[in-house]
Structure 1
Amino acid sequence: MSSVDKVGPQALPHLEEKVERILAEAKRQGASACEVSVSAGQGLSTTVRQGEVETVEFNRDQGFGIILYNGQRKGAASTSAGGDEAIRETVAAALAIAQHASEDGCAGLADAALMARELPDLDLYHPWAIEPDQAVELALRCEAAAFAKDSRIRNADGTSLNSHQSCRVYGNSHGFIGGYANTRHSLSCVMIAEADGQMQRDYWYDVSRRGEDLKDGVFIGQRAAERAVSRLGARPVPTCEVPVLFAAELATGLFSHFLAAISGGNLYRKASFLEGALGQRLFPEWLSLDEQPLLARGLGSASFDSDGLATYAKPFVLNGELVSYVLGTYSGRKLGMPSTANAGGVHNLFVTHGEDDQAALIKRMGRGLLVTELMGQGLNLVTGDYSRGAGGYWVENGEIQFPVQEVTIAGNLRDMFRQIVAVGSDLETRSTIRTGSVLIEKMTVAGS
């Protein structure tokens, strides 16, 4: 990639100066308070298919978003344009919106005394000086390894390499300005297996802050092939109520649903089945959920949240009990509670896990369904009812017997969380949620 450092740490002073100019313009036009986020990014992406290069793209973007306050009235606007004229016009647009907005007693910046004071370096910026021809070669080698792994791999659905770096600065009229640069690199491979008139598709991938830390392309290609081939012969199973084991890469979704249910926005809108659940035991006593936002090189790490508050390590669930909601300044005010420095979301969630890997959990399950694929969006966050199309593997006597497709798994998240039997040691490291495979005591599997 050319000019890998144009949106690196050395770009921060320029973006900080831009934030200051936007804040000054907002004050000049009469805003009582203001907050602004400026970002710049660039990236390289390439996709190959069937040994041919499908795309090679270099992208670059920049822009800023502004929120202005006219007393208790709020207006927001954003633009990808630069320059003083764009700043004046965007500020004016946000102010016009604020003047027509309804008053909101909870609107406004976070208290000045709560602004982050120290911004530690979290080691998030690792540019990858990879040229387009090198990226293509790596992707082709990954795909070739998949084809070579098994003769039943007959087709490819795309192997992609992406390398992106960005820089973001946030500031507000309290005088807070903070920024950081970060990188994210990924390699993914999707393959199609065919045998006896049936076709199955599966994938594998890796993500890292450092391109050099990505799993070897040959490994990723071979793993994608193995997964696709193992799905051949998939069939439904009769409707039953059995234990269900969510593979680690899917178990992250269970805890993502939980975070949504305890997020302030859903709580004050009364759109969550966990409204009023603070202090209740929702999980087994041995399970805790901890946020670690200051983890070096973490995919979700950040030293301050979207309101400018310093992030800090804390539990959301401790010994099975819900001890904290996920709150930003606004949602906290709506609920009459202090912010948890989670405006913009949770940064690096860690789930308590045991010593058993997925294979050991399969043996422990005995009979049931290992879920490796989910389809659809069958979640009602108001009631907690959960129903998703699923695929995976049927287990008998602690061993995988055959692949499964065209089934639906159903339950209620309250019951599912309470009935977690174990969390595996096979931790998912490619997500901001660090969990192993999750074994749930029983769910309804609806099949043939």
Structure 2
Amino acid sequence: MTDPAALPSPERLERCAQLALDAARAGGATQAEAGASASRGLSVSVRKAEVESLEFQQDRNVGVTVYLGRRKGSASTGDLSDAGIREAVAAALAIARATGEDPCNGLADAELMARDFPELDLDHPWDLGADQAIDLAAACEAAAFAADARVTGSEGASVASHRGVSIYANSHGFVGHRSGTQHSLSCAVVASAGDEMQRDYWYSSARSPADLMDVRAIGRKAGLRAAARLGARKLGTCTAPVLLPPELARGFWGHLIGAISGGALYRKASFLLDQLDRPVCASCVTLLQRPHLRRGAGSAAYDHEGVATRDRTLVEDGVLRGWLLGSYSARKLGLQTTGNAGGVFNLLVQPGVDDFDALLRRMGRGLLVTELLGHGVNLVTGDYSRGAAGFWVEDGAIAHPVQELTIAGNLAQMLKEIVAVGSDVDPLANVRTGSVLLERMTIAGH
């Protein structure tokens, strides 16, 4: 399924991108950038031992952005023929002529383009046929049912494999090639006891199929997690410590990343405005960008504008050391791009020494959150309020499941009240973090 021969060659895609640049230049563009990409994938979902979905996906695309001075226009097409590409360029030029000037428009500076392209080991095609994928999903689901007799329902087990190739080129003469794979396994099941039903899941995602968690282990973990939630109670309103496991801590750090990103900063829509070189987190927190990790989920030699990516320290011992900027947001702020057009590339949260069980003991009494609901996060003010479920902890051990809760606080305070980051890091994620123990949050029962 993921045979590299099934995708257009990098040379073919580069020719498409160069054709777009040539057409833009001939049409009067002062600057231009083009991307050509192709991807192919297979995804299968099995529910109650029956195939629920089987999808083959294949996409091809050329996108072009042109600049007429400081006027900008963009267009894309799935037609990789010469005529289709020229038509897309003509559309981009027409859009640019119809738009107003923005002094911050334009390519990133030529001297910032990437020149070194380290081998990042991102491309691991999986010779996976539909029948094999179905068998893997069925085995995953079967393991979930076998994990506990109370697992009685399923929302499905899924297997997915995708491979993509892309080219980015611009009128500075920069050309960058990328190819990579992403594979995943997941399972979600329902446990029941009497009239009560509880749902939970587990998953694994990796660049290489060899790095995926065993399908039966995924199913078993999903089943045990669902069964463990049976007998969930409600809580009265209180203030207590909260522990976020790695799969939820990634989203927590995502709020910080959003608040130090260029778009939020120049719009003045961040609770961390004017906080550069000031303490914004507890002193135990250090955040690093490492874009060149082999097989990294977020590894890249260059950002979405061709700018070289580099190792960066974003937060050092709690102190904010850098923003995440592309060229447009940097110009709006009177700064230079940091090579982060497209976001952060492999965020590493420096782990502490405590594993998950040690963090439970350190918390003593509080809430272990295993599910968050809703989107009640305001990056302008930092206000945080989300529905939650999980387990109540007493004397450093899980006591019983809880549900129908709301946890609330303010991100500015929450970041400064991080007690510890665990050593239980998932090394395959774009945000590599251990569990995060927060000193206190308001926990409201419904």
TM bracket, shorter-chain basis? over 0.9
What residue is the counterpart of 1:130 in the other structure?
128
By how many angstroms is 1:286 displaced?
2.7
What residue is the counterpart of 1:193 in the other structure?
191
Residues of 2 paired with 1:3 and 1:182: CA distance? 12
Give the 3-state SS of the residue equivalent to 2:406 in structure 1: strand
Residues of 2 paired with 1:246 and 1:215: CA distance? 22
Asked whether the equivalents of residues 68 and 74 of structure 1 are also in contact (C-alpha less than 8 Å), the reply is yes
Asked whether the equivalents of residues 26 and 68 of structure 1 are also in contact (C-alpha less than 8 Å), the reply is yes
1:191-233: per-residue Cα shift (whole Å, max 9, x none)?
1000021000000000011112211111000000000000001
What residue is the counterpart of 1:376 in the other structure?
374
Confirm whether residue 5 of structure 1 aligns to residue 12 of structure 2.
no
Q: How does 1:139-218 map to 2 (within 5 A)?
A: 139-218=137-216
Give the 3-state SS of the residue equivalent to 1:5 in structure 2: helix
Residues of 1 paired with 2:120 and 2:316: CA distance? 26
Asked whether the equivalents of residues 74 and 107 of structure 1 are also in contact (C-alpha less than 8 Å), the reply is yes
Aligned with residue 49 of structure 2, among 48, 51, 66 = 51
Residues of 1 paired with 2:277 and 2:307: CA distance? 25
Q: CA 1:437 to 1:106, structure 2 compared with 1: closer, same or farther past 3 Å?
A: same
Aligned with residue 424 of structure 1, among 422, 425, 442 = 422
Residues of 1 paired with 2:284 and 2:189: CA distance? 39
TM-score normalised by length of structure 2:
0.98
Which letter does structure 2 place at the counterpart of 1:5? A
By how many angstroms is 1:2 displaced?
6.2
Give the 3-state SS of the residue equivalent to 2:9 in structure 1: helix
Moved more, 24-33 or 426-435: 426-435
Residues of 2 paired with 1:367 and 1:295: CA distance? 38
Aligned with residue 436 of structure 1, among 424, 434, 445 = 434
What residue is the counterpart of 1:19 in the other structure?
17
What residue is the counterpart of 2:74 in the other structure?
76
By how many angstroms is 1:101 displaced?
1.1
Confirm whether residue 411 of structure 1 aligns to residue 409 of structure 2.
yes
Residues of 1 paired with 2:204 and 2:235: CA distance? 32
Give the 3-state SS of the residue equivalent to 2:120 in structure 1: coil
Which letter does structure 2 place at the counterpart of 1:24? D
Residues of 1 paired with 2:412 and 2:149: CA distance? 45
Asked whether the equivalents of residues 48 and 158 of structure 1 are also in contact (C-alpha less than 8 Å), the reply is yes
Residues of 2 paired with 1:143 and 1:68: CA distance? 49
Asked whether the equivalents of residues 2 and 131 of structure 1 are also in contact (C-alpha less than 8 Å), the reply is no
Structure 2 segments unaligned to the other structure (5+ residues): none
What residue is the counterpart of 1:302 in the other structure?
300
By how many angstroms is 1:336 displaced?
0.8
Residues of 2 paired with 1:206 and 1:80: CA distance? 31
Confirm whether residue 90 of structure 1 aligns to residue 88 of structure 2.
yes
Aligned positions, number: 446
By how many angstroms is 1:4 displaced?
4.2
What residue is the counterpart of 1:262 in the other structure?
260
Which letter does structure 2 place at the counterpart of 1:61? D
Moved over 6 A (4+): none
Residues of 2 paired with 1:215 and 1:110: CA distance? 40
Asked whether the equivalents of residues 160 and 184 of structure 2 are also in contact (C-alpha less than 8 Å), the reply is yes
Residues of 1 paired with 2:427 and 2:155: CA distance? 24
Which letter does structure 2 place at the counterpart of 1:93? A
Which letter does structure 1 place at the counterpart of 2:395? N
Q: CA 1:4 to 1:44, structure 2 compared with 1: closer, same or farther past 3 Å?
A: farther
What residue is the counterpart of 1:314 in the other structure?
312
By how many angstroms is 1:145 displaced?
0.9
RMSD of aligned alpha carbons: 1.0
What residue is the counterpart of 2:37 in the other structure?
39
1:368-408: per-residue Cα shift (whole Å, max 9, x none)?
10001000000011100000000000011111111011000
Give the 3-state SS of the residue equivalent to 1:380 in structure 2: coil
Aligned with residue 389 of structure 1, among 387, 390, 406 = 387
By how many angstroms is 1:142 displaced?
0.7
Give the 3-state SS of the residue equivalent to 2:303 in structure 1: coil
Residues of 1 paired with 2:440 and 2:351: CA distance? 19
Aligned with residue 324 of structure 1, among 318, 322, 325 = 322
Q: How does 1:227-266 map to 2 (within 5 A)?
A: 227-266=225-264
Asked whether the equivalents of residues 4 and 128 of structure 1 are also in contact (C-alpha less than 8 Å), the reply is no
Asked whether the equivalents of residues 232 and 403 of structure 1 are also in contact (C-alpha less than 8 Å), the reply is yes
Structure 1 segments unaligned to the other structure (5+ residues): none
1:344-364: per-residue Cα shift (whole Å, max 9, x none)?
110000001111111111111
Residues of 1 paired with 2:207 and 2:411: CA distance? 32
By how many angstroms is 1:3 displaced?
3.6
Aligned with residue 293 of structure 1, among 276, 291, 294 = 291
Which letter does structure 2 place at the counterpart of 1:253? G
Moved more, 320-329 or 423-432: 423-432
Asked whether the equivalents of residues 72 and 107 of structure 1 are also in contact (C-alpha less than 8 Å), the reply is yes
Residues of 1 paired with 2:182 and 2:36: CA distance? 19
Asked whether the equivalents of residues 41 and 62 of structure 1 are also in contact (C-alpha less than 8 Å), the reply is yes
Give the 3-state SS of the residue equivalent to 1:298 in structure 2: coil
Residues of 1 paired with 2:393 and 2:19: CA distance? 62
Asked whether the equivalents of residues 2 and 41 of structure 2 are also in contact (C-alpha less than 8 Å), the reply is no
By how many angstroms is 1:80 displaced?
1.6
Give the 3-state SS of the residue equivalent to 2:15 in structure 1: helix
Which letter does structure 1 place at the counterpart of 2:339? A
Which letter does structure 1 place at the counterpart of 2:288? D
1:42-95: per-residue Cα shift (whole Å, max 9, x none)?
001100000111111111001021111000111111122221121111111111
Residues of 2 paired with 1:235 and 1:98: CA distance? 58
Which letter does structure 1 place at the counterpart of 2:126? W
Moved more, 249-258 or 283-292: 283-292
Residues of 1 paired with 2:217 and 2:2: CA distance? 28
Which letter does structure 1 place at the counterpart of 2:221? R
TM-score normalised by length of structure 1:
0.98
Give the 3-state SS of the residue equivalent to 2:5 in structure 1: coil
